[in-house]
Chain A
Amino acid sequence: MTAQSNSGGGLPPLLQLSNVSKSFGGIAALKEVDMTLQAGEIHGLVGENGAGKSTTMKIIAGVYHDYDGEMRIDGARVHFRSAREALAAGIGMVHQELSTVPDLTVAENVFLGHQPLTRMGTVDWARINKEATRLIASLGLDIDPKTRMGSLPVGLQQLVELSRVLFSGARIIILDEPTSALSPPEVKRLFDVLRKIKADGRGIIFISHFLDDVLEISDTVTVFRNGKKVVTEAAATLTKDAVISHMIGRGSIDMHMGESADLTGDDAKPVVLEAEAIGDGRQLRDVSLKLRAGEITGVYGFMGCGQIELARALFGKIRLKHGRFLLNGSQKSFKSTAAARGEGIAFVPENRRMMLFRTEPVYKNVSIAILDRIHRLLLMPKAERAIAGNRAKDLQIRPPNPNMMLGSLSGGNQQKVALAKWLTHLPKVLILSEPTRGMDVGAKEDVIRIVKDLRDRGVAILVLSTEPETILTLADRVSVLRKGMVAKEFNSGTIHKADLLAAA
């Protein structure tokens, strides 16, 4: 490489990636990516799930070190062997999931992991509180450093975490979905802080699904698609639609299933389960939804939009703060998952580990949800095995042996077992969270077929996903969630992926 001095007469860029590629087990996750971050720049990074954003960031942050290509900081070539080395070189990351400790004070959180010590070797509390006050004030915030972290709103907690990263001397700051949990005034405050940091001559990489936010705060925007950098442009010259079309490659030849869908919402079908203005007081703010018999309702939204909570609220796993459910027109409240199951509601969570017993045979996994239907008092393992065997046949679970330990099945087959639980006695309502995530094509098609078949047999189905393809492939009507509220509903007509992305 002869990229010694490509920036004319000025300073070398703060961070430069050239020709970076990374693959996992032979599958390319990142292909020849170039990216440049200048000092005093906020660089927006957008792309769909799996486009390569996180992989790139993990390379920068030293989490992955077996990649091809090169990385330079201030023009000097670096290759981090660990996250610690990256940290020492001035790279700080604020993750979407906060890594603060709610039971410690704000000051303790700022200094977590590197508390200054007195000469006696004890923690220097006076200095911690003084420094923390100074740091927080320098961000234009007014927080008492002795406040308990957990008592602050999420937006402020995030800013405290940011000040921790700043304190550690980071000059390159990576923010992963910083606005997903924030209300508009909190977003504004975050942006004020980011502009201050930028003015200090630090560089910020701002990763987000919220394109409006990205376009507002960024100087430059880079779009990733399928592990490649598609474009880098000045934010001022971009529009939301332009970004979306870069993200999904509209007009490109690699169009495939799930790019668009013809919705067939039919208001004549009877409503089975209705949620009226439900909220859990946290992520789920205010959602109304009608699930109809023989219809698949899709709920699309980014991570943290409240869909995880919505699914759990419907299945009696979390309590509602407000709102109510109507099941076939009469009001219900599900005090437990057992109560929800008793009312004919079934749920397959996004993570199959959550509902499978790895060290038990397949038949026990299948029968657990219907034991009270097949047995009065005594168990009849023979009947259980027969039922599990039938389900294995219906769902083409391989191998179709009900005595196999669940843990020895492949992931896709495990997912089918999770679904098989609910299929012996048809539920009234089936809630599926990320039903096809992480599955190979064959298993995916099987699941899609099964779900559509269940719909045709009259089950009211709710599919929740962060992947637009899943929603577009399955749904008859779509609700888009944004920050715990229904942002938009699509009931009929043709919709495209871009419509979902724009609404979320």
Chain B
Amino acid sequence: MSMTDVQPNSRLKSFLKDQLRNIAPVFTLLALVIFFAAASSSFFTVVNFMNILSQISITSIIAVGLTYVILTAEIDLSVAAIANAVGITIAYFTLQPDYVNIANLPLPGIIAIVLTLLTALCFGLITAFGVTWIGIPSFIMTLAIMQIANGVSALLVRGQIAYSYPDLITMLGSGSIFGIRWTIIVAILFLGIGHLVLTYTRFGRYIYMTGGNREAAEYSGVNVKFIIGSVMVISAMCSGIAGMLAVAYFGSAQQNQFDSYLLDAIAAVVVGGTSLFGGRGGIGNTIIGLLVLGVLNNGLDHIQIDSFLKILIRGLILLSALIINVYAQRLKESE
């Protein structure tokens, strides 16, 4: 019965070790805010803060689903492509102006929305089937789905650009209420529900346990395949809804308009401190990660900086977050 004596000092140390992955991103965020506030007078304002929130709102919705996936130690590379395909699908089911030359299938708004959601569901179910039933690694499976979704996008618009969506989508994507953009409210809703489900439901616990030790979860009688299949479906649904709102947010639906969202969403989740090895992290981490990315992207626009350098800086920030992620994991395991 060997029980190591825990001194207060080492307890603090182990707490810090434990929390490193949560603390580091907060410090990154604070440092960035302080830096940009000092470097630019236009950065630290309420208006700009709302700008940042609005800029990260679409990514946030995608990131909720992706957080679930990454917590189970899987990955979803198809999120941006699905968002794009689903965004185009909603336009495909809507009557377009005369000058848009697309062979589409106009339907009443609500039916269009339901059909479009079913499209997203289909993508998710196919991924889930491939990963759990056939046993294709999610990395490869979602790569294939990414390509398929891109293909769907291409076929539906054939190089054209669509502009009209059902009224509900237009309102949620580009409208505001009390001066707050609906996309921000939807994003907060998704993040909030995502957090509650992860923290307070059995399903959420199973996600963490599956990610923490899949074999152990299976030997405890958890239906691991169901959990992994579900998170793939959830991720596709989140991406799909983000895509629907985004085309209204952008004002147009076309091919390849989501290219930066895959990296942004993964970066947000990982920078926030959710472990790529699964089982650690959560929506709270993702929120910090989203803010870090949002502040970074927005702040770099407020200071005079070579826009090509911007890309490099984002890459470096992502790299350092990954290093912290792996390092925190190692500390944890060496305990």
Are A357 and B3 also in contact (CB < 8 A) when A337-B219, A375-B202, A378-B200 are? no
Is B158 at the interface (CB under 8 A from chain A)? no
Is B335 at the interface (CB under 8 A from chain A)? yes
Is B97 at the interface (CB under 8 A from chain A)? no
Is B209 at the interface (CB under 8 A from chain A)? yes
Q: B3 to A399, Cβ gap below 8 A?
A: yes
**Chain B, residue nearest A413 (CB):** B1
Q: B212 to A405, Cβ gap below 8 A?
A: no
**Chain A, residue nearest B218 (CB):** A337
Output the residue of B202, B219, B222 with the most chain A CB within 10 A.
B219
User: In the complex, A421→B220 CA distance in Å?
Assistant: 8
Query: In chain A, residues 429-458, which have Cβ atoms closer than 8 Å to a Cβ of chain B?
Result: 442
Min CB gap A308→B, angstroms: 13
B-binding residues in A (CB < 8 A): 315, 317, 336-338, 340-342, 346-347, 349, 353-360, 364, 368-369, 371-372, 375, 377-379, 398-399, 405, 407-410, 412-413, 421, 442
Min CB gap B248→A, angstroms: 33
B212 CB contacts on chain A under 8 angstroms: 357, 359-360
B220 CB contacts on chain A under 8 angstroms: 337, 341, 355, 368-369, 421
Are A342 and B221 also in contact (CB < 8 A) when A356-B216, A357-B209 are? yes
Q: B209 to A338, Cβ gap below 8 A?
A: no
User: In the complex, A349→B219 CA distance in Å?
Assistant: 8
Q: A338 to B223, Cβ gap below 8 A?
A: yes
Min CB gap B217→A, angstroms: 7
Q: A410 to B1, Cβ gap below 8 A?
A: yes
Is B279 at the interface (CB under 8 A from chain A)? yes
B205 CB contacts on chain A under 8 angstroms: 364, 368, 371, 379
User: In the complex, A183→B71 CA distance in Å?
Assistant: 45
B215 CB contacts on chain A under 8 angstroms: 354-355
Q: B226 to A338, Cβ gap below 8 A?
A: yes
Is B213 at the interface (CB under 8 A from chain A)? yes
Output the residue of B205, B332, B335 with the most chain A CB within 10 A.
B205
Q: A369 to B221, Cβ gap below 8 A?
A: yes
Q: B219 to A360, Cβ gap below 8 A?
A: no
Q: A336 to B219, Cβ gap below 8 A?
A: no
Min CB gap B327→A, angstroms: 15
Query: In chain B, residues 110-149, which have Cβ atoms closer than 8 Å to a Cβ of chain A?
Result: none
* 21 pairs, A vs B, C-beta closer than 8 Å: A317-B218, A336-B225, A337-B222, A338-B221, A338-B226, A341-B220, A347-B219, A353-B213, A354-B215, A354-B216, A357-B212, A357-B279, A359-B279, A359-B333, A359-B335, A368-B209, A369-B220, A369-B221, A371-B202, A408-B4, A410-B2
Min CB gap B279→A, angstroms: 7
Is B201 at the interface (CB under 8 A from chain A)? yes
User: In the complex, A340→B213 CA distance in Å?
Assistant: 19
